[in-house]
Amino acid sequence: QSVLTQPPSVSAAPGQKVTISCSGSSSNVGNNYVSWYQQFPGKAPKLLIYDNNKRPSRIPDRFSGSKSGTSATLGITGLQTGDEADYYCGTWDSTLRAGVFGGGTKLTVL
């Protein structure tokens, strides 16, 4: 069982918006930066969001991140079929002194 909790799956139609939640505690999400990763089958994860809400230069602004208290959220607008992938949140846990990931969320674009 993952330290960070994500919904197993989310779905939405092309062009719509979807959000993926990542719930943790004060020892991880609440007091450390959250990052988000996109992973296609058979490929390495790719960084989408870092420092809670910053995007690497190559990531389109359709992807956004936010954090409130012990929960973080990834938002994707203007959904495309090419966005179908698994999405993971990650952060540091100050009590465990360990990196932690969410269990992952499979996005389906209907």
Partner 1 sequence: QLQLQESGPGLVKPSETLSLTCSVSGGSISNTNYYWGWIRQPPGKGLEWIGNIYYSGSTFYCPSLKSRVTISIDTSKNQFSLRLTSVTAADTAVYYCARRSYNSGDFHYWGQGTLVTVSS
Using the rule CB under 8 A, is 24 a contact of partner 1?
Answer: no
> What are the strands, taking DSSP E only, across the chain?
9-12, 18-23, 35-39, 46-49, 63-68, 71-76, 85-93, 98-101, 105-109
Of 34-53, binders to partner 1 (CB under 8 A) are 35, 37, 44-47, 50-51
Contact characters 61-100, partner 1, x per CB under 8 A: ---------------------------x-xxx---xxxxx
Short-list 67, 47, 65, CA closest to 57:
47
Binding site for partner 1 (CB under 8 A): 2, 32-33, 35, 37, 44-47, 50-51, 56, 88, 90-92, 96-104
